[in-house]
Amino acid sequence: MRAYIKNAFLILILSAIAISAFNCDDIRTEKPLVKNSGENKQTYSDEYLTVSKVIDGDTFRMSNGEKVRLIGIDTPEKYDSDKLDRESSKTGRDKQTIKKLGEAASDYVTKLVEGKKVRLEKDPGYDNVDKYNRLLRYVYFEDGTLVNAKILEDGYANVFYDKSISKINEFKKLESDARKNKKGLWGEVDGTTQF
**Could you state, in order of their start, the residue ranges of all structural domains in the chain?**
33-189
User: C-alpha 118: how far from its chain's center?
Assistant: 13
Which amino acid is present at 70? L
**Of all helices (H) and strands (E), which one includes residue 175?**
helix 168-180
Task: Tell me the DSSP string of 52-97.
Answer: EEEEETTEEEETTS-EEEETTEE----SSSHHHHHHHHHH---HHH
Mean pLDDT lowest for which of 11-25, 54-68, 71-85, 168-182?
A: 11-25
Average pLDDT over residues 54-69: 96
User: What pLDDT shows up at residue 84?
Assistant: 80
Give the tens place of pLDDT for each residue, 29-47.
223 323 333 444 444 457 8
CATH architecture, domain defined by 33-189: Beta Barrel (2.40)
Q: What 3 state SS string does 116-162 have?
A: CEEEEECCCCCCCECCCCCEEEEEEECCCCEHHHHHHHCCCCEECCC
User: What pLDDT shows up at residue 25?
Assistant: 36
Q: How far apart are CA 100 and CA 122, in angstroms?
A: 31
Beta-carbon contacts of residue 42 (< 8 Å; ≥ 6 apart): 25, 33, 34, 35, 122, 128
Average pLDDT over residues 172-191: 90
**Of all helices (H) and strands (E), which one includes residue 7?**
helix 2-23
